[in-house]
Amino acid sequence: MKINHIGIAVKSLKEAVPIFEKIFKVKATEEEFVESQKVKVRKLHLENIEIELLEGTAEDSPITKFIEKRGEGIHHCSFEVDDIAGKLDELKEDGIKLINDKPQVGSDNMLIAFLHPKSTAGVLMELSQRQ
Ligand code: ZN
């Protein structure tokens, strides 16, 4: 397993992107809409990790709800696996609580699934698999 990206919840991509571009001196990717999460995404590809900036597009988007409760900040860490379905089955068997039993389609057409933060010390962990 290796880290793929850190997801950061922002109120406005328009405001956040130029700041992160200034810090890392790289240009963010074009805006992408991820229907399953109701978010707009722009990413910054760094040497060994991506930064995923997320803005909610609806009241019931997980990102909108997160910002309401906790404000802007780190939302999740994403770890890349080769077989996400198999890994989810394995974790379930080991008693880890999952938010998503089945992989969903995330940004860049990656398969993603979230583990429940109640099982992971309050850290929202995402598994991801390239297709
Ligand atoms: Zn993510």
pLDDT in tens, 74-126: 999 999 999 999 999 999 999 999 999 999 999 889 999 999 999 999 999 99
| Residue 69 CA, ligand 1 centroid: distance in Å | 19
Q: Which domain holds residue 81?
A: 2-129
What pLDDT is attached to residue 36? 86
| Residue 93 CA, ligand 1 centroid: distance in Å | 24
CB 40 within 8 A of CB 13: yes
CATH number at residue 17: 3.10.180.10
**Is the pTM above the cut of 0.85?**
yes
| Residue 24 CA, ligand 1 centroid: distance in Å | 19
Strand residue runs (E) in the chain = 2-9, 32-34, 39-45, 50-56, 73-80, 104-105, 111-114, 125-129
| Residue 50 CA, ligand 1 centroid: distance in Å | 9
| Residue 94 CA, ligand 1 centroid: distance in Å | 23
What 3-state DSSP class applies to 59?
Answer: coil
Domains of the chain: total? 1
What pLDDT is attached to residue 61? 96
Contacts of residue 96, defined as CB under 8 A and 6 or more positions apart, other chains included, come to 115, 116, 119, 120
Tokens matching residue 119: 């099982």
Tokens matching residue 34: 């991820």
Separation of alpha carbons 113 and 94, rounded Å:
16
Reported as a single tens digit per residue, the pLDDT across 46-71 is 999 999 999 999 999 999 999 999 99
